[in-house]
A and B are shown apart, each in its own frame.
Chain A
Amino acid sequence: MPKRGAPAEVNAGSMADIAFLLLIFFLVTTTIETDAGLDRMLPPIEPPENDVVIKQKNIFEVNINKNGQLLVEDELTDIKNLRERAIAFLDNGGDGTCTYCKGAKNTESSDNPTKAIISLKNDRETKYSTYITVQNELVGAYNDLRNREAQRLFKRDFVDMEAEYLNPETESSTKDDLKEKVKRVQDLFPQKLSEAETSAN
């Protein structure tokens, strides 16, 4: 007869090893990623009821052809100069009503940042990467100007304030405060970026 005693205890010493193994598996496979990108609003499909007449000088035309070349205000322009050109256009303040503009006050260019419109056209064969670069530069132009005004008014970058405002973890009291500031800076340089339908060829 074998010896009968109390049943032997199961050795749990390797439980930690097994748990570690699983832990490492999940650690490796976890991707805590948040996507980022350029936010845009598409125009509604119904045309506005009353057509507004916009002066030609308040429109900044950007045309991308299928080879990725840029035509800015009927001038062939390098993409690296686009941001500069856009800033000059938006910040122009031609009719003198804009008190915070620091531009050239050229009467041939935009009257006021609130009236200035950037119109972007592209070809069907334009590469998407080129299009994104152009979009990025135009949004960048707006952000640069807004940052400048936010620094002047609130001693803080606009991009920074907006990111904190949009962050869901921000407390609601700070949010209310930020909302007003963000709105105010946005109103100084409203983003008016129109995308016409693509030309057929």
Chain B
Amino acid sequence: MSKFAKKKDEGLPAVNTAALPDIVFMLLFFFMTVTVMKDSTLKVENTLPNASETKKLEKKDRVIYIYVGAPTSQYASQFGKEPKIQLNDKFADPSSVGDYILQERAKKAQELQNVLTTALKVDKNANMGLISDIKQELRKVNALKVNYTTYEGDAFNNLQ
């Protein structure tokens, strides 16, 4: 009988927290591996227009990005306020878009080279002349699949 009575006054044992760092580290490694650092810094204004009938751009390795917009205030004194094209990290003319596409295409794996999409991230204040020039260049290098990247939203918000 006394065997059972003895345990009474011990109280609750403390929860063992020794494994807590392990759990936290596990989460840490998860987030470290899924984090994608931005690869190019934007030098142009890039407020995308809204659209509602969008499709998702899956598989980032099959996408080539082209940015268009007015240079940000930091570069405005040097490059003016007219919308410009940004390829990778520098400003470019419409005529160099074709070369850029070919260059980027050559970097991709063989089997992906025919399924590439060109994502046009264009500021909503740009005008169509520049876009038409880009489209013309894209047609020349046979990069026909384009995606006008937009935000999800009501398209009529664009008109204000």
Task: Please tell me if B129 contacts chain A, counting CB pairs below 8 Å.
Answer: yes
Binds A, one of B8-16, B26-34, B84-92, B106-114: B26-34
Provided the pairs A30-B35, A37-B150, A68-B159 are in contact, do residues A125 and B127 lie with their beta carbons within 8 angstroms?
yes
Provided the pairs A79-B156, A137-B155 are in contact, do residues A26 and B32 lie with their beta carbons within 8 angstroms?
yes
Tell me the A9-26 residues at the B interface (CB within 8 Å): 12, 15-16, 19-20, 22-23, 26
Q: Is B146 touching A42 in the complex (CB atoms < 8 A)?
A: yes
Provided the pairs A16-B20, A133-B158 are in contact, do residues A30 and B31 lie with their beta carbons within 8 angstroms?
yes
Task: Please tell me if B105 contacts chain A, counting CB pairs below 8 Å.
Answer: no
Task: Please tell me if A49 contacts chain B, counting CB pairs below 8 Å.
Answer: no
For the residues of B in contact with A, the DSSP-based class is mixed
Task: Please tell me if B126 contacts chain A, counting CB pairs below 8 Å.
Answer: yes
Q: Is B125 touching A127 in the complex (CB atoms < 8 A)?
A: yes
Task: Please tell me if A109 contacts chain B, counting CB pairs below 8 Å.
Answer: no
How many pairs, one residue from A and one from B, have CB atoms within 8 Å of each other in the complex? 166
- Quote the shortest CB–CB distance from B79 to chain A (angstroms): 19
Q: Is B49 touching A23 in the complex (CB atoms < 8 A)?
A: no
Q: Is B20 touching A128 in the complex (CB atoms < 8 A)?
A: no
Task: Please report the total number of B residues contacting A with Cβ < 8 Å.
Answer: 55
Q: Is B54 touching A23 in the complex (CB atoms < 8 A)?
A: no
Bound together, the chains give a CA A42 to CA B132 distance in angstroms of 11
Task: Please tell me if A194 contacts chain B, counting CB pairs below 8 Å.
Answer: no
Residues of B within 8 A of A26 (CB): 28, 31-32, 35
Encode contact with B along A124-139: 1 for CB under 8 Å, 0 otherwise. Answer: 1111111111011101
In the complex, which of the residues B21, B32, B49 contacts A129, with contact meaning CB atoms closer than 8 Å?
Answer: B49
Q: Is A128 touching B35 in the complex (CB atoms < 8 A)?
A: no
Further contacts, 19 of them, CB under 8 A, given A37-B119, A128-B128 = A16-B17, A19-B21, A30-B35, A35-B149, A36-B56, A36-B57, A36-B152, A37-B55, A37-B149, A39-B55, A44-B142, A45-B142, A125-B128, A125-B129, A127-B127, A132-B124, A132-B148, A133-B158, A195-B135
Closest 10 CB pairs of A and B: A124-B129, A129-B124, A129-B158, A26-B31, A37-B149, A36-B54, A136-B155, A19-B24, A198-B132, A136-B51
A residues near B (Cβ < 8 Å) are 12, 15-16, 19-20, 22-23, 26-27, 29-32, 34-45, 68, 79-80, 122-133, 135-137, 139-140, 143, 159, 162-163, 166-168, 195, 197-198
